[in-house]
Structure 1
Amino acid sequence: MSNTNNSCAAGGGAIYGLGIFGAWVYFWQQADGFWHYVWAIIQGLFWPAFMVYDVFQTLN
């Protein structure tokens, strides 16, 4: 019997999921038109990539 511990992975997924919902709320409040709402959904899904990109832009 394997003695693996997947609780850490599940906890990380839960935190990422909460981050997605929080990003959706934030970006949804900033949107003011149909395509802005569509973009808000996309940004909510990929918010870590946008955040890392902005950090690298700042460090450049």
Structure 2
Amino acid sequence: MKEQIQRHASSNPIYGMGFIGALVYYISHATSFWMGLLGILKAILWPGFLVYEALKALGM
């Protein structure tokens, strides 16, 4: 079972690269310590923002 899960987990590196990119972006644009912490939270939740904006753009 463990081998089967690892074989189908090919999206993890893509999420990881997106997380690192979002983390660098949000922290580099932070103007204070609290905005940096908010940036870390946003970096974790970026796929949710992406799906929300895509559905909003499609009018759903």
Shared fold per TM-score greater than 0.5: yes
Equivalent position of 2:8 in the other structure: 8
Match of 2:50 in 1: 51
Partner of 1:32, secondary structure, is coil
Matched with 1:36 is 35
Residue segments in structure 1 that go unaligned for 5+ positions in a row: none
Percent of residue pairs bearing the same amino acid type: 33
Number of positions where the alignment pairs a residue of Structure 1 with one of Structure 2: 57
Give CA-to-partner distance per residue, 1:18-44, whole Å, 9 cap, x none.
Answer: 110010011111111011001000000
The higher radius of gyration belongs to 1
Rounded to whole Å, the distance in 1 between the matches of 2:33 and 2:57 is 30
Gaps of 5+ in 2: none
